[in-house]
Chain A
Amino acid sequence: MSDLGIGLTGFLSLFLLLAIRMPVGTAMLIVGSVGIWIIHPRGESASIATLGGEIFSISTVYSLTILPLFILMGNLAGISGMSRDLYDAAHAWFGHYRGGLASSTIVGCAGFSALSGSSLASAVTMGRVALPEMKRYNYDDALATGSIAAGGTLGILIPPSAGFVIYAILTEESIGRLFMAGVLPGIMLTSLFILAIWIKVKINPDLAPSSVAVLPITERLASLRQASWIIGIILITIGGIYGGAFDAVEAAAIGAFLSFLVCIIRRKTQWSALKETIAHTLRSTATTFYILMGAFVFTPFVALSGIPTALTDWLGTLNAAPYTVLIICLVFFIILGTFLEGFAILILALPLVQPIMEGYGIDMIWFGVMMVIVLEMGLISPPVGINVFVVKGIAPDVPMNTIFRGIWPFWFAMMAAIAILLNFPEIALFLPNTMFN
């Protein structure tokens, strides 16, 4: 069998292993090491050396220290009560509009996303705060749960984002530039989500039958003052990266340190809470690094098989325009997102897609932002939208199909965001291109 044939068999085997519930990291470790063993001239020794060497090297990449630090920062923000402050502020400012509580949830998720790189953490943290409130005001279950699931997805677009970190490591792009590239699209997507809620409620006012009374300006300002801790930390970390005061890793450490200080000031440092924070951080770190270990063994196999070169050559014969290729890739990722985990898509697809995109002269930062939005769509797409399952955990009485029904307006908002970004790449590229003045 040719190397190309072995490569394609490898991909097929990988999908098969994933389908039988094998952990993503394990599946990639198996296919990658067996593939290298078969293709590489040094066979077994090359495979063993790759396995040991790559596991160690991915565990000692300086820029990846950002992952546990940002996960820790997000978890500390959760126990310190800062997420609640953020929701309360959004509630005070937007709660009185029709569908305002759902919009507040989206704003709260967007704000919390700026402290946490995880979409699951955003959905869980904000969901616990927002769902009882929406139930109290008789919001439609689909709208309430849909807004939490969709709002949570902002976690991997608004910096700090675990998705961007992994993308940066795989494509050798700058984490800081990718973080900056996510800011304006993140704000745009937040606005599109709010617009989706507004349209839904305008068409059917019964979805959000009642609203909160308008609060006096003094109360609104007080809520903003209460949220000033979280806003301050966000400004220091993201502003520090943008201004070049420190790199992304240092920003993560400073953010975690400041969040811990807030916990101390607010007397939220009970042993049980801290223990849970560390446990969550360790579990999320394990999840991400195990997938990365698999990816770093799988990627050399893909390169050795010659699939990326063959794919690039084949696309070259089609004489397709760069935008056509880009759109085909994005559609392909949207389809993959319906049944594959987001990080797995990044890791599986990037080694194939990166040479193609670079060959067509497509900016990899711009492409990264669109790819992350596509991954967000996967997080809420049936049948394996992870955020939907997380929301189901918070709202056990709401049927699964009701939650899935509620996500569609947001799914189309994400499609709109991609369409806008395709036409106006500057939205993603403006901040990274103006970093450090």
Chain B
Amino acid sequence: MVFLVGLTVVAVFWRYLLNDPIFGITDISRMSLAVIVAGSLAYGARHGGFVHVDILMAVAGRKWTRFTDLFVRVAGIVIVGVATWALREEARCGFECGEFTDNLEILHPPFYWLLAIAMGVYCLMLICELVIGVAHFGAAEDPNEHE
């Protein structure tokens, strides 16, 4: 993130002070964003960064949410797992598939891999939450209930 801020500020100063726009700055910014998004996804997975609508708990209570949470986690594991696999599949095809940036021809596969790893981390987090949820199924509270 610091790199992205620095890069953009330098690009603006270069353009105005030296009257010489830096070639390919957009490509580097785009790929930096992929790194930030991958990092934030993994962090968000660990620290409950994904929003959900929480009406059911107030209406029905844990008596029902322990069942729905079970379903939500299993469905989440499946779709995030498939997304991880889909990103890995895309990552395997590089230059031949035209997977590179417009100006600097930065190859996309390493960034696909990063996103795949981030999704994989989220999938693992969901598996852990599922196991903990099953272990606490009969208990009054699930440690991950509010995340």
Contact = CB atoms under 8 A, between A and B. Distances in A.
User: Are A and B associated in one complex?
Assistant: yes
Interface of A: 17-26, 29-30, 33, 48-49, 51-53, 55-56, 59-62, 64-65, 68-69, 72, 246, 249-250, 252-254, 256-257, 260, 278-279, 281-287, 289-291, 339-341, 344, 383-384
A18 B55 CA distance: 9
Contacts of B49: 282-284, 286-287, 290
B115 A55 contact: yes
User: B-side binding surface: helix, strand, loop or mixed?
Assistant: helix
Given A20-B72, A56-B111, A250-B12, A65 B29 contact: yes
Given A56-B112, A68-B36, A253-B4, A29 B26 contact: no
Nearest to B36: A68
B1 to A, nearest CB: 6
B34 A287 contact: no
User: A-side binding surface: helix, strand, loop or mixed?
Assistant: helix
Contacts of B72: 17, 20-22, 26
Given A19-B55, A30-B75, A60 B111 contact: yes
A59 B1 contact: no
Contacts of A33: 79, 82
B100 to A, nearest CB: 12
A56 B40 contact: no
Contact of B33 (A29, A60, A246): A60
Contacts of A278: 1
Interface string B24-47: 001001111110111111011101
Contacts of A25: 50
Contacts of A339: 53, 55
A252 B45 CA distance: 26
B86 interface: yes
B80 A62 contact: no
B34 A60 contact: yes
A283 B8 CA distance: 22
A248 to B, nearest CB: 11
Given A20-B68, A69-B4, A72-B1, A56 B50 contact: no
Interface in B109-147: 111-112, 115, 119
A68 B87 CA distance: 22
B55 A384 contact: yes
A277 B81 CA distance: 30
Interface in B62-84: 65, 68-69, 71-72, 75-76, 79-80, 82-83
Contacts of A65: 4, 8, 29-30, 32-33
B75 A22 contact: yes
Given A60-B111, A64-B33, A384 B40 contact: no
A289 B37 contact: yes
A246 B33 CA distance: 19
6 contacts: A24-B50, A26-B80, A29-B79, A59-B115, A250-B8, A340-B53
A52 B9 contact: no
A49 B65 CA distance: 33
Contact of A286 (B4, B9, B43, B115): B43
Contacts of B31: 60
Nearest to A255: B5
A261 B82 CA distance: 43
A418 B34 CA distance: 37
B43 A282 contact: yes
Contacts of B37: 59, 285, 289
Contacts of B53: 18-19, 21, 24, 339-341, 344, 384
Given A56-B108, A384-B53, A279 B75 contact: no
Contacts of B87: 52, 55-56
A352 B72 CA distance: 27
Given A51-B82, A56-B112, A254-B12, A283 B51 contact: no
B52 A59 contact: no
A435 B131 CA distance: 55
Nearest to A50: B86
Contact of B40 (A29, A285, A291): A285
Contacts of A60: 30-31, 33-34, 108, 111
A281 B49 CA distance: 11
Contacts of A72: 1, 5
Contacts of A253: 4-5, 7-9, 12
Nearest to A76: B5
Given A55-B115, A62-B26, A48 B79 contact: no
B104 interface: no
Contacts of A19: 53, 55-56
A60 B87 CA distance: 14
B20 interface: no
B89 interface: yes
B107 interface: no
A55 B83 contact: yes
B22 to A, nearest CB: 12
Given A65-B29, A289-B37, A21 B56 contact: yes
A390 B37 CA distance: 25
Given A20-B72, A59-B38, A287-B44, A51 B80 contact: no
A344 B69 CA distance: 20
